[in-house]
Amino acid sequence: MTEPASTGALAVGIAGAGVAGVMAGVTHEAMVGSLCGALLFFTTTKELPIIRRLMFLVISFVMGILFAPALAKAELFGFGPIDLPGPSAFIASALVITVTLAAIRQRRGTEPNHG
């Protein structure tokens, strides 16, 4: 019979390997930049309920990291490419929710419901 400690260590090792595989290629700079962009959005949208702001914080953080490589290679209005993971993740994180909500509002043709 296996000991609980060895079984737990095996489970943690497998979970860690899965997370490491998903996070491969994500730099610390991109994570910090994305967190700063998400916090910027979170602190400037005080009209939204806190639960919605927290949800948008998480979405903004995750999507900022995912969009950072594409934004780092992009050229917008003659500016770019950025080629720096931190600033590109910051910009992506700060814009992802704003742009998505604007597109949803335009599609609906109505003002957002803040309730």
pLDDT in tens, 36-46: 999 998 898 88
- Look at the chain and report how many structural domains it folds into: 1
More confident residue, 11 or 52: 52
Q: Is residue 1 situated within a structural domain?
A: no
Distance CA 56, CA 63 (A): 10
On the 0-12 / 13-18 / 19+ scale of CB atoms within 10 A, 18 is exposed
Q: Is residue 9 situated within a structural domain?
A: no
Structural domain of 102: 27-108
Average pLDDT, the chain: 78
Check residue 10 and give its pLDDT. 46
Distance CA 111, CA 94 (A): 21
The average pLDDT across 92-105 equals: 89
Check residue 12 and give its pLDDT. 47
pTM for the full predicted model: 0.67
Q: Is residue 16 situated within a structural domain?
A: no
> Longest Cα pair distance anywhere in the chain, in angstroms?
65
Check residue 71 and give its pLDDT. 81
